[in-house]
Amino acid sequence: MANGNDAARHYQDAITAQMGERVTNLGRRVTDIESEMRSGFRQIETSISQLSATLAERAKPQWQAIGVALTFAVVIGGMAYWPIREATGDLKASMGRIEERMITRQEMEWRQARSQEDRLRMESSIATIRGEQVPRAELDRVWSSYDQRFSDHQRQIDEVKQAQNSVYGARDVLIDMRERLDRLEQQRRALAPPP
């Protein structure tokens, strides 16, 4: 609220905005009442001076009229002062509540500095990660090289299997195994004690 400039106000929520508007309205009312009081006191002052002049002209002391005027001035002053006093009390209480919820400029600057530090750390981490990354095209080239190597290995294995099958087939393996079994049985019988 820089000198009543409405454009300088920024509120975080509706309650703070309502409180700010109320404080502004109470301030305006206090200012209006103050100007009315001053004009009223001036009128009373001119009335009293006119009354004094009239009394002085007559040279007759009229203490009752002065007492009534003075009493009237005190009553008017008290009636004008009482709402101002109440409004000032409300204004002080409202300002106290606003100050409790208010974030100071130093705290905002501290928060801004912390967020800037966090942002710089995050940007340096991202730059480090980007610097250590391998481009996708290079990875695709390496993976295609691996795929080519695997397909070459599989081709070589298939060639070895084909060569083995052409030289030594499944039938030959079975015949060879039968011959080995026969030999083992003969050796067992030869080594077995006679019954």
pLDDT band (50, 70, 90) for residue 52? confident
Greater confidence (164 vs 21) lies with 21
Which helix (H) or strand (E) element contains residue 78?
helix 63-101
Q: Which residue has the tokens 């004009």?
A: 39
Task: Pull the structure tokens for residue 34.
Answer: 């103050």
Q: How far is CA 184 from CA 177, 189, 192, in A?
A: 11, 9, 12
Would you say how long the chain is, in residues?
195
Predicted pLDDT at 1: 43
Predicted pLDDT at 8: 56
Greater confidence (68 vs 129) lies with 129
Per-domain residue ranges for the chain? 2-103, 160-195
Predicted pLDDT at 114: 92
Which tens digit of pLDDT belongs to each residue from 42-51? 888 888 888 8
Predicted pLDDT at 99: 80
Greater confidence (24 vs 103) lies with 24
DSSP 84-96: HHHHHHHHHHHHH
Which tens digit of pLDDT belongs to each residue from 8-32? 566 677 888 888 888 888 888 888 8
Question: Which residues 6+ apart lie within 8 Å of 37 measured at CB?
Answer: 77, 80, 81, 84
The mean pLDDT value of the chain amounts to 82
pTM as predicted: 0.28
Which tens digit of pLDDT belongs to each residue from 113-162? 999 999 999 999 998 988 888 888 888 888 899 899 999 999 998 888 88
